A and B are shown apart, each in its own frame.
Chain A
Amino acid sequence: MTTAIRPVPRPTALSAPFWDAARSGELVIQRCATCGGYEWTPQVGCSRCYTETLQWTRVSGQGTVYTYSVVYRPPTPAYDTPFVVAIVELAEGVRMMTDLIEVDPAEVRIEMPVEVTFDRELPMPLYHFRPVTA
């Protein structure tokens, strides 16, 4: 019997700066130097003006819960249930799929303010979101 593992993100040449920043505890998103738009997930060109002037830019780390789901059936036994998957809308406008931690699943609400937090342990850093504490 093999030990179940969680999928581990594998950085690409394109996404490496994102994961490097995460390792330092910073959230960076590509921003187009030509039209000013933010781009997530990482792309080669801007999806608005199609130029290749995207620059990794530090963002606030603040956002709100756009939607969520409390998961009771894990994709592998490596996940403890229940856990919360969410799509967070950053203050900068892009939406990221993530999980919510440090929260009672029963208290999660759409539009709830959240902030990014990083797990910087090896082998790969991960970004999570947690409720903003007043």
Chain B
Amino acid sequence: MTAALVRTARRRRHPLAQARVVGVGTTEQARDLSHRSGMSLALEALRLAADDSGIDIAEIDGISSVVSGYPYGADDENLQLSQEMYWMRQLGHPLRWIAPQRGIPAILDAAIAIDRGLASTVAIVVGMSRPADSTNTAAWSRPANEFTGWTGSFTAVQFALAGQRYLHEYGDKALHAMARSSATIRNYGHLNPAAVYYGRGPFTARDVLDSRPIATPLTLLMCSTVNDGGCALIVTGRERARDTRKRPISIIAGGDQQPYTPYVEAPVLDGVPDEGAFARAAMDRAGITLDDIDVVELYDHFAIGVLMEFEMFGFCGRGEAADFVESGVMELDGRYPTCTDGGNQAYSHNGFPAIFRPIEAVRQLRREVVDPCTADGTGRHYHTPGECRAVRDPKLAFVTNPGPPTGGASFMVLGRD
């Protein structure tokens, strides 16, 4: 058998092989959507994803939900039911599958549930809006943060601690590489009409380094943006997917590893012997390697996170991420165009942006990307770096959800059959 047939055969026996991503939807992403509730944004995103797929919401029998301010009136400390349990009422019909986790793990669990016949069509929904007067940093007053909160640490500081250690171990040149990675991602956002940072570039590494210091070594433009918005993604089975509107996208491989308890414990910066082994094993079972990947949607919470994810997943060796990034690998004409919608830093960070990563991957794989090329109405892309953000002929996308140092790194590979 040829290598390609072997790979196909291994994929077909894979429990993820029976599922297809058939619908995606994103609302407006903007700094202040406080006039909308999280649930309103979630419902809009769900309607958009359903329209995108051609599947009626009535068919949805499984759900994963991250919605701000929902359910109304529930006291957090006494909440006995997961948020997903409230969706039966909103959807008006029973559910067969309730997500045990959120983010990429929920998509993987949904695919397996569909494979096993525990659900037929699952919606992953997110709707986040903050009150108009909210502050920009995560709350740190929970009792569980007894040994971290009092220090004045918050999310960016957790990553700054990792970044400072990284510079110590691998050299100060990584600081420029961090800035370059953020500039590259923000330049994709600059080209994305849906992005919070649309039209606000172009950015250089110097611009990123010169932006306001947040917590050394992180500057403002090395950090995620803060905004409101919603999104949704619909997964169904291979057979049902044949009768949907768009080209179904396959889930080729996926996995998750959680190194430590984020925010409660100080960031673990070392000690995990081979962080990416679980991902390599999952890809090997599916018969693929990173050589097969055409586009990368990393969870770019912070510039140091991008470098560490490249190392963790084996795109480059430990300590090699600075040179890797400086080689231009993330650019549209690079080997691995990365965060092609602008990512968390320039497209959207709505408090739970995990699902935007696979959504952008789906859009790239479907050849549905909107950028300056598409203004002429022909749908044709010219793939000129700095003017286009559509990857040329992508077949496999590598997608991640939050990686080190605050814990958790899940990934999935999506493919255009």
B143 lies within 8 A of A6 (CB): no
In chain A between 72 and 106, which residues have their CB closer than 8 angstroms to a CB of chain B? 72-76, 79, 83, 85-87, 95-99
| Given the contacts A6-B152, A74-B152, A79-B152, A68 and B164 also touching, CB distance less than 8 Å | yes
B150 lies within 8 A of A6 (CB): yes
Interface range for A: 20 to 34
B151 lies within 8 A of A10 (CB): no
Choice from A67, A75, A87, A110 contacting B152 with Cβ under 8 Å: A75
Q: Which of B145, B212, B265, B266 has the most CB of A within 10 A?
A: B266
B151 lies within 8 A of A68 (CB): no
In angstroms, Cα B149 to Cα A10, docked, is 11
Distance from A11 Cβ to chain B, minimum over Cβ atoms (Å): 7
B208-231 Cβ-contact flags toward A at 8 Å (1 or 0)? 000011111110000000000000
**A-B pairs under 8 A by CB, number:** 98
Choice from A9, A72, A110 contacting B150 with Cβ under 8 Å: A9
A96 lies within 8 A of B161 (CB): no
Residues of B near A76 (CB, < 8 A) are: 135
In angstroms, Cα B150 to Cα A95, docked, is 16
Count B interface residues, CB 8 Å.
36
Choice from A10, A69, A95, A110 contacting B160 with Cβ under 8 Å: A69
Distance from A98 Cβ to chain B, minimum over Cβ atoms (Å): 6
Closest to A71 in B: B215
In angstroms, Cα B150 to Cα A110, docked, is 22
Distance from B319 Cβ to chain A, minimum over Cβ atoms (Å): 16
In chain B between 126 and 178, which residues have their CB closer than 8 angstroms to a CB of chain A? 135, 137, 140-141, 143, 145-154, 156-157, 160-165, 168
Q: Which of B150, B152, B217 has the most CB of A within 10 A?
A: B152
B143 lies within 8 A of A12 (CB): yes
Residues of B near A12 (CB, < 8 A) are: 143, 146
B164 lies within 8 A of A110 (CB): yes
Distance from A70 Cβ to chain B, minimum over Cβ atoms (Å): 4
Residues of B near A51 (CB, < 8 A) are: none
Closest to A126 in B: B150
Residues of A near B163 (CB, < 8 A) are: 69
In angstroms, Cα B146 to Cα A12, docked, is 9
Q: Which of A7, A12, A87, A110 has the most CB of B within 10 A?
A: A7
| Given the contacts A73-B156, A75-B152, A97-B266, A15 and B146 also touching, CB distance less than 8 Å | yes
- In this assembly, does A13 line the interface, its C-beta being within 8 Å of a C-beta of chain B? no
B215 lies within 8 A of A73 (CB): yes
A43-63 Cβ-contact flags toward B at 8 Å (1 or 0)? 000000000000000000000
B165 lies within 8 A of A97 (CB): no
- In this assembly, does B54 line the interface, its C-beta being within 8 Å of a C-beta of chain A? no
B147 lies within 8 A of A96 (CB): yes
A85 lies within 8 A of B146 (CB): no
| Given the contacts A11-B146, A72-B212, A83 and B152 also touching, CB distance less than 8 Å | yes
In chain B between 281 and 303, which residues have their CB closer than 8 angstroms to a CB of chain A? none
Choice from B150, B156, B168, B266 contacting A8 with Cβ under 8 Å: B150
Give me 7 other A-B pairs in contact (C-beta within 8 A), A67-B269, A69-B217, A97-B266 excluded. Answer: A7-B140, A10-B146, A69-B216, A75-B140, A76-B135, A85-B157, A99-B152
Residues of B within 8 A of A (CB): 135, 137, 140-141, 143, 145-154, 156-157, 160-165, 168, 212-218, 264-267, 269
Residues of A within 8 A of B (CB): 6-12, 15, 41, 66-76, 79, 83, 85-87, 95-99, 110, 126
